[in-house]
């Protein structure tokens, strides 16, 4: 039976008590995206069909996250946690009207690759009715075992608590991910009972029922780390490490240089072009794009920023959301940029805060410069013209415009617009008192002698 498209059922109803968190387990993040988000992204890349998300009672935030990431996803509630088969049947309304494949994924298993789902679907195309994703476990304790016949067909899945001593020696384990090409799947799942050690309705029992109906079942194997399920904070960190390792490798293969890859942290949507060089201890938060030839020096933090071609950033630079850096821009040590567009060739090399504004092409922002953008109630813009020069230790009180080619003298507090090509100075007159220093030292020495 061919299938025009797939129904993806994502199980997200687990309470995640071992996470010890008020936040539902599946909303905890890996690489800046919720685990649920990773699985829904996988669903979109793998099938392009219908998505149903099964949530627990009161998990409105999970349903909201699902709708935000995968518009059109429908949430169904599993009112009591009575096992995985019961969870899938919470989506019975859509299962009963669906004519294609049904693939069951888990929202706490965020590392499965689209290629793996493609292999599962290919197995269905070969005539298999039930395909189960399995892996060879280093320590199979606690996992369901996949029982196979002499010709390699899957005959049953035995939960660890129900397995015999001989079955527990099997290292081929169940990931939980299953795909079905079965007529009237809801009817088949409805025949699953709960006569087992935990008294739950196991989705895994579908294999034996399907085989009793004359249907075929088979295993598709993948690496153990790909099906890591996250139930506690240490496993969340483990999933993060695996994701990061994959992403770093993919970038290096594409032509990105990382001097110390293990110290570079990426987000799910980080985009870095070829010939970018990244020094140690750099963090990419969500929404960052780096164009070809840029150099990222050590100890930088980026989020929601665009870095243009051949730009030079850092060390110790921070780019916040809305930072848009053009070609050959220099942002140096201890410079923070937030919601500022810096045009080609502009520079802010030392100790500056640029918030809410624009910097024209080839303008230079001196050390210690501050865009004073916030008055306690409103944010205002600072506009720096093309080729302008802002001297060190200047405060630009927004809203204010510095004209093209203008100069701002060091130490100035600028509160009014500066015309093109003008020099703006704002300082008190310097006064000098001859001989004062020696008199002061003498006075302090006498005081110290009396104490």
Instruction: Show the tokens assigned to 203.
Output: 């989705």
Separation of alpha carbons 138 and 210, rounded Å? 29
Residue with tokens 């859509």: 94
Going by C-beta distance under 8 Å and a sequence separation of 6 or more, which residues neighbour residue 129? 180, 181, 182, 210, 215, 216, 217
Going by C-beta distance under 8 Å and a sequence separation of 6 or more, which residues neighbour residue 440? none
Q: How do the residues of the chain divide into helix, strand and coil, expressed in percent and rounded to 5? A: 25, 30, 45
Q: Output the CA–CA distances (angstroms, integers) from residue 285 to 265, 268, 321, 363, 397, in the order listed.
A: 8, 9, 10, 28, 29
Backbone angles phi, psi at 264, to 5 degrees: -100, 125
Say how many residues make up the chain.
451
**Spacing of C-alpha 347 from chain mean position:** 30
DSSP tag of 271? E
Q: Output the CA–CA distances (angstroms, integers) from residue 408 to 341, 384, 427, in the order listed.
A: 20, 11, 11
How many C-beta atoms lie closer than 10 Å to residue 21's C-beta? 12
Q: Any alpha helices (H) in 17-154, and if so which ranges?
A: 35-46, 60-69, 84-89, 92-97, 114-125
Separation of alpha carbons 30 and 240, rounded Å? 5
DSSP per residue over 308-352, as a string? -TT-EE-SS-EE-TT-EE-TT-EEEEEEEEEEEEE-TT-EEEEEE
Q: Which helix (H) or strand (E) holds 198?
A: none
DSSP tag of 301? E
Residue spans of beta strands (DSSP E) within 3-159: 6-11, 29-30, 33-34, 50-55, 74-77, 101-106, 130-136, 145-148, 154-158
Axis-axis angle for helices 35-46, 60-69 (nearest 10): 40
Q: How, if at all, do strands 364-365 and 389-390 pair?
A: parallel
- 350 in catalytic set: yes
User: Closest Cα to residue 90, out of 209, 178, 159, 10?
Assistant: 10
**Active-site residue among 5, 38, 330, 350?**
350
Residues that are catalytic: 350
């Amino acid at each position: 039976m061919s299938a025009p498209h797939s129904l993806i059922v994502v199980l997200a109803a687990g309470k995640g008590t071992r996470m010890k968190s008020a936040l539902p387990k599946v909303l905890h993040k890996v690489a800046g995206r919720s685990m649920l988000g990773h699985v829904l992204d996988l669903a979109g890349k793998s099938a392009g069909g219908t998505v149903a998300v099964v949530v627990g009672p009161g998990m409105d935030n999970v349903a909201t996250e699902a709708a935000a990431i995968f518009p059109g996803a429908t949430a169904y509630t599993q009112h009591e946690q009575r096992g995985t088969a019961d969870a899938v049947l919470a989506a019975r309304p859509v299962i009963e009207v669906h004519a294609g494949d049904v693939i069951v994924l888990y929202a706490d298993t965020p590392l499965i690759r689209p290629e793996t789902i493609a292999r599962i679907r290919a197995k269905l195309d070969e005539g298999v009715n039930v395909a189960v994703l399995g892996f060879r476990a280093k320590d199979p304790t606690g996992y369901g075992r996949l029982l196979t016949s002499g010709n390699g067909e899957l005959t049953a899945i035995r939960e660890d608590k129900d397995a015999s001593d001989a079955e527990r020696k099997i290292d081929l384990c169940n990931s939980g991910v299953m795909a079905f090409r079965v007529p009237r799947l809801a009817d088949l799942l409805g025949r699953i009972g709960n006569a087992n050690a935990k008294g739950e309705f196991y989705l895994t029992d579908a294999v034996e029922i399907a085989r009793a109906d004359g249907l075929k079942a088979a295993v598709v194997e993948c690496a153990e780390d790909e099906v890591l399920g996250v139930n506690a904070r240490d496993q969340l960190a483990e999933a993060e490490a695996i994701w990061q390792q994959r992403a770093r490798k993919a970038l290096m293969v594409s032509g990105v240089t990382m001097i110390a890859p293990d110290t570079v942290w990426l987000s799910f949507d980080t985009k870095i072009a070829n010939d970018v060089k990244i020094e140690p201890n750099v963090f990419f938060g969500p929404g960052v794009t780096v164009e070809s030839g840029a150099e990222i020096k050590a100890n930088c933090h980026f989020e929601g920023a665009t870095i243009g071609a051949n730009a030079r950033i850092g060390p110790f630079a921070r780019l916040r959301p809305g930072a848009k850096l053009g070609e050959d821009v220099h942002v140096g040590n201890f410079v923070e940029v937030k919601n500022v567009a810096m045009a080609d060739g502009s520079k802010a090399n030392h100790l500056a805060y640029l918030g809410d504004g624009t910097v024209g092409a080839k303008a230079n922002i001196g050390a210690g410069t501050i865009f004073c953008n916030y008055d306690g109630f409103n944010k205002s813009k600072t506009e720096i013209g093309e080729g302008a020069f802002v001297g060190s230790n200047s405060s630009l009180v927004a809203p204010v415009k510095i004209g093209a080619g203008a100069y701002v003298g060091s130490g100035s507090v600028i509160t009014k617009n500066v015309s093109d090509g003008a020099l703006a100075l704002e300082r008190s007159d310097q006064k000098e008192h001859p001989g004062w220093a020696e008199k002061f030292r003498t006075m302090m020495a006498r005081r110290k002698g009396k104490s």
